[in-house]
A and B are shown apart, each in its own frame.
Chain A
């Protein structure tokens, strides 16, 4: 019985093909009701609360109308059935009744439109924000740029591949966890400026009731003011290609002091990183760092084993590109390949990360060129 409980409850055990069948038989009794989320979250902002109350108001209006209409219908079904000897009436129109049931819904709708309009107006007022953040959608990650604090980073899914492929147990934040969350202060108006690098994405945090499309070439605005510190999770809400389901959004909201400390720490880290570009790197160091970068930025297409996906994404293992002309290799990573899915990564990573990842590609999976690409070489190639 223990195994069965494990399957249906949380955490979900995975893998065996016969389990699907077992589940089919055992799922209902083993479902844990605590996990059933039935409704929209109330959220942690003033806007999300008014959206929630709009949602509930219209919901109850619908329920009442449904009870009346279906009530009459089922009453007829029970009482006016032929088997009970009902005789059909003759009436088939009534202008008065028809006018009444046109006017009443109209009035209900007007009543609904008033609060909805007020909430919408509030949502559109982006003025006087204290923090400005540019959010850029990429296939398949988010980039956050703090416009006034000079902080700039990418946020990638951090759920390990093994969990997705059912080789490891899934954790509670499965698919809703990232390496670098967006950190925001509590109680301050934060303005988001959204755009996209490639296709249309949509940035959504249910707890803020913020959902806005990120459109290539265009800028969109949204704002929030978080009431409570905490971690809030959302997902990309517009189909954006293969890994649309794998680009979550995580926001960590902090109180003022913690936020300032975080900003200072980010800026210090940035300086340290810039300084590290000047130091002498060893091949081993670059390989370690390169593997991390490769797994976040390259493995989605070229795969963790460097084999690519035949017919779609080329292999790097044993390829001409990754084993011969170094300059060409640096060039394609920095500048991308026009007309293909290979983006220009020159603007996405700093010199150290780029040097590391190219070094990694040239030495991993038996591509033993023993060649090292240094951050200085990258800077040179970037014209810096």
Chain B
């Protein structure tokens, strides 16, 4: 599974959820993680049609197909539950 986090330097929600993102990376060392900046990596971000709310975490399977996304400020518990749910469904 691959996780792509889209955030921005000026976004307070992104700043607040960054530590959670770091913890998730440690808890799932076998997954791939990538970070995109909403302003600096505009062309790559456009591909994912993320709407108006950031941060967004796009979750892709081994075939690089999107299987889910986490939008906005979520607690670690909510994120882990969602990831486990996706893992069990593939």
> Is B a genuine binding partner of A?
no
Which A residues are within 8 Å of any B CB, using their own CB? none
Which B residues are within 8 Å of any A CB, using their own CB? none
